[in-house]
Amino acid sequence: MAYRVLVVDDSPVMRGFIRRVIRLSGFDAAECLEAGDGEQALARLRSEPVDVILTDINMPVMDGEELMRQLSIDERLRNIPTLVVSTDATKLRVDRMTELGAQGYLSKPFSPEMLRSELERVLGCAT
């Protein structure tokens, strides 16, 4: 099955990097959509279905924590598996994002293999 992925990050170069790494890793992605912050992500998610969300935490307008809260109160979006991708690897942050509903957490730096493995684990959890 080919998956539709939404990459949420305020850095265009990081979004491009994640798209490239998904391709390099061999993960079966049908399409990679992009959003620059949580608000843009919600707008895209309400108009286009995706199978998995990869989101940064520190973003302007709406950050990753608020995005997780908004997803959790939206009946149509709350079941989309979400993988957090962040430079912050502290236990406090990982626990907080997990409590907010994140199914996976990948700290930077990460390799293509690590990203694929975590994506597959998160999607496996969702089935």
Partner 1 sequence: MIALDRAVLMEAVNAAVNQAMEAMFFDAAEPVCDCECSDGREMITVCLWFHDAMDGEFMLATPVPTAVALAASFMGCEPHEVDRSQAEQIVCELANIICGSALSSLEPAAELRLSSPLITPRACTEEEGAIYQHYRLLDGCLAVSLRLE
Query: What is the rounded distance in angstroms from the CA atom of residue 98 to the CA atom of residue 103?
Result: 6
For partner 1, which residue of 2, 30, 43, 89 counts as binding (CB under 8 A)?
Answer: 89
Query: What is the rounded distance in angstroms from the CA atom of residue 10 to the CA atom of residue 15?
Result: 8
Maximum CA extent, the chain: 35
Neighbours of 123 (CB within 10 A): 20
Q: List phi, psi (to 5°) of 75.
A: -55, -35
Residue nearer to partner 1 on the CB measure, 14 or 33: 14
Residue nearer to partner 1 on the CB measure, 53 or 59: 59
Residue nearer to partner 1 on the CB measure, 91 or 99: 91
Residue nearer to partner 1 on the CB measure, 39 or 88: 88
Residues within window 13-42 making contact with partner 1, judged by CB under 8 A? 13-14, 16-17, 20
Query: What is the rounded distance in angstroms from the CA atom of residue 47 to the CA atom of residue 45?
Result: 5
For partner 1, which residue of 63, 66, 88, 120 counts as binding (CB under 8 A)?
Answer: 88
**Residues at the interface with partner 1 (CB under 8 A):** 11-14, 16-17, 20, 58, 86-93, 107-111, 114
